[in-house]
Structure formats: C-alpha cells, structure tokens
Structure 1
Amino acid sequence: MNRLWIWLTVFTLSGCVRHEVVTPTVAVHQEQQIGAQASGIRGAGTGPQIAAYLTEAYHNKINMCRGNPSAPAFLCSGVMLRATQHSTQFHFWNPNPSSTGVSFSYLRADAKFSKLVFGYNNGFILYPYFFKPYGKIEPEILCFFPVDGATNARPDQGCGQSPGIAASRPCQSQGINTAAQYMTHYNQSPGKYGSLCGFNVRDSLNQGATTAFNEAIKAQGQGGSFAFVTQNEFRLAKWAQNLGATLPIEAVFYVNDTGKAGAQYDQRDFKGQTGIWIPAIKITLPQTTAADVRFEFIPADQAISS
C-alpha cells in the first residue's frame, strides 16, 4: 500500500485513531497533533511537550505503524535528526546544492549511537511523518544504513554502490534481507565505512520496506562497538531550497555548549525566515550501550521564547 494512501486514511480517521502507547505522554501527543492537523497550525507543541514527544518516540520500539505492515516504524517512532555545521552563510534547512540526497541519523532505544557525524554538535529534528503538522511536505525516505554509509560518494541519491566496491551495492540486491545475513556481510568487510550495504526502504516496496527496516535495526544492535561509535544513516530525497516553512521540522538540537550557540542561532533564523517558533532541545547521547538518550528542554538555553 502506498504511504500516501495510508496517510490519507489516517487523516480521515484522525478523530478516532490512537497513538502507539508506550508512555503517559502519548495521549497528549496524539491530541496536540490531531489538533494541529485539523486547524492547519504550522508548527505545534511547547518546548516541554516536544521534549516529551521525542522521549516517547525514542522508547517506542514498534515494528510497524498502527498495525499496518506497509507502514515502516520510522513513520511514527524514533527520532530522525540531521547534524549540521553551524554557519551564518546558509540556512540550516537548505540542502547542500551539490549533494544528491540528504543524510539523517535515527535514534531509538534499539538504535543508539554515541556521537554525531563529523563530530558536529547541533542540528535539527524532523517530525515522524504520521505526526507532522498539517501542510508539511514529506521528503521521500530512500534507504537506511545500520552504520554510516559514506553516501556522498554513492550514486542513486546516495543509496547505490560505493565506487569500486561491489559488496556495497544495496543489501536486497545481494540477497541480504535479514540481520543475520547483514552481520555475515558486516564481519567480512574489514574497512566497513563505505564498504557496507544499505537497505532499500522506499515507499514502493510496501511491506518489504517495513521488513527491511526492522532487520536493519536488529543488525545495528548486533554491530558491537563500531556500530555504537559510528552513527547510522538514513538517506532522504533532496528537497528544493528555501522550504523551511513547509518542511516537517520539529526542533533544533544541541549536544553540548559549543552546539548550543549554533542551535540558538538556528532557532532565531528559523523564526525570522518562516515565522515559526521551534524549541532548542538538548540531546545527551549515551556513552555506554546500557545508557539511554536524554531529550531536555531547558528554558534558559532558548534564544527566543516564542
């Protein structure tokens, strides 16, 4: 089933749907989001609410959304974030004009990592598409790598084969469909970074995308210390420039004081350019596999209150 049809069905039935229950904050999240969809609010949620939603989504280790096998879990659970390099020369929501796609990482209780790509310290977070405010676009989600795929060097919008490395072509095309098969592939790749395959999770695969993503998450959890210290990678289709007001951006974030300054600048810039206030959320990444991520809204760290 195409995800657009799934979403239209969910929208039609939004008066009676229930968000997957994992914490006491679920009911608040569902009501707030449905209210945003019904009223056309562009951006929704207070800072404390957003921090609670992110915590809920992080702990929500479901296998599919709303019991639909054609709705992969990333549409309604986990935290999809993009680490960015702070600059006053461009808006954080605009893709690099020279890139073929846009890279994100995915945090969930069963998909942890201890650092951001390139050692960056701040970035932004997308709403899970099933809970985005009304009127926001949905950049296509293309492929997922249990560890960073060095996608800038790959064709097919970052999802294809790394130059000269046949074993890096998409997992399913190699008959790699399960976490166990991926781990065999993983253990046979001494370089790993850029040498591993990614799982195709495009909408057109329907239930196959759900199965692929679930197996990829299992594989990440079995990847040991390398997978924990090397962030995973989603690849999204590249969107046009200057779409800040219609992108499903939930928050900016920072992981330390260095990143806080960048997040504060981005928070002000986003409000100035779009008229939409989003919170700056502090993310504390785990330094051991037993620890969990923390999401905090700290009023004193906000550049603007609304």
Structure 2
Amino acid sequence: MTTAAQAVGVWNTPGGGNPNLRQCGFDVTDDRNTLAGPAFYQSVLAKPMLGTTGFNEHNEIIIRTWHAGRANTLPIMAFFFIAGGNNQGLPDAQYNQRDFYNSTNPKIVVPIIRLTPPSSAAGTATFTYVAADQVVTQ
C-alpha cells in the first residue's frame, strides 16, 4: 500500500470486523530514501479522509532511538501536553523538561507547550506557551 486512498480502502473493507486490526503503517524507514517522505505525507492525508472516525482515532509515529545516550543531539524543540486531558500530562512534560535539561551539556532549555485540541474536525487546535507550566527557565 502506497497511497492514502488505499489505506482508507483497507480500513473500510466491508464485513472486515474491527478496522483497528487492519490498520496499516506507512513505511518511512531511512532505507526507503526518497520514498519515505511521500509515504509519511500519505499517512497524513489518510486520517482526514476517514471523516469523524479519522478525527476521533489516535495517530502515532514510532521512531528509533536518536543517538542514544547523546542528549545534545536530540532534535527536541518542545515538550507538549494536552490541556484538559488526563491530569498527568503537565507533570510528565515538566519531568521531561527537567530531565532533558539535566542531561545536556551545555544545558538546553526546551519549552513546554500546551496543546488544546479542537472539539471537531472543522475546529482549530491551539498551542500556547504558559510561563507557569515551565519548571526550567534558565
């Protein structure tokens, strides 16, 4: 499978039972070279093609460890948590912010960003920097 339309077709297979058991992943591994980017793009296109179901289903990407043990090489730009989600989101982000700061040399401050998801597929997500959420400010 290489297109969003093919992925949606597999998801919508009539009489196929639970579509979560047939969902697929797009191969974006390094060895795909120039094919990895288009595969990732197709995965992004597939979700809204499922309408409300796509909006309500979770979305994830699994990546390999990035230079394990070398925190200064991690391309982390922010730690995010979902506002109004479970009460553990902010404490987890704060733990990660502090841990990353303590693991880098020289010390790197990475902000915590509050994500407020839209209430519908037509809505807009908001991303907010809140000073009170930060545990490391330097």
- TM, length-normalised to structure 1: 0.39
Matched position secondary structure for 1:262: helix
For residues 203-214 of structure 1, what are the structure 2 equivalents within 5 Å?
203-214=30-41
- TM, length-normalised to structure 2: 0.79
Partners of 1:276 and 1:269 lie apart in 2 by 10
Identity percentage of aligned residues? 34
Q: Is the 8 A contact 2:78 2:112 kept in 1?
A: yes
Partners of 2:62 and 2:99 lie apart in 1 by 25
- The alpha carbon displacement at 1:304 in A equals 2.5
The structure where helix makes up a greater share of residues is: 2
Partner in structure 1 of residue 12 of structure 2: 187
Partners of 1:304 and 1:194 lie apart in 2 by 42
- The alpha carbon displacement at 1:237 in A equals 1.9
Partner in structure 2 of residue 284 of structure 1: 116
Instruction: Give the total of aligned pairs.
Output: 131
Partner in structure 2 of residue 221 of structure 1: 48
Partner in structure 1 of residue 2 of structure 2: 177
Residue-by-residue CA offset, 1:20-57 (whole Å, 9 max, x unaligned): xxxxxxxxxxxxxxxxxxxxxxxxxxxxxxxxxxxxxx
The structure where strand makes up a greater share of residues is: 1
- The alpha carbon displacement at 1:205 in A equals 2.6
Root-mean-square deviation (Å): 2.2
For residues 132-281 of structure 1, what are the structure 2 equivalents within 5 Å?
176-188=1-13, 189-239=16-66, 241-256=68-83, 258=87, 259-274=89-104, 275-281=107-113
Kindly indicate whether residue 127 of structure 2 is the aligned counterpart of residue 302 of structure 1.
no
Counterpart of 1:289, as a letter, is A
Partner in structure 2 of residue 126 of structure 1: none
Q: Answer 1 or 2: higher relative contact order, Cα 8 Å, separation at least 6.
A: 1
For residues 10-159 of structure 1, what are the structure 2 equivalents within 5 Å?
none
Partners of 1:289 and 1:245 lie apart in 2 by 37
Partners of 2:121 and 2:94 lie apart in 1 by 30
Matched position secondary structure for 2:78: strand
- The alpha carbon displacement at 1:241 in A equals 4.7
Partners of 1:246 and 1:234 lie apart in 2 by 20
Q: Which stretches in structure 1 are left out of the alignment for 5+ residues?
A: 1-175
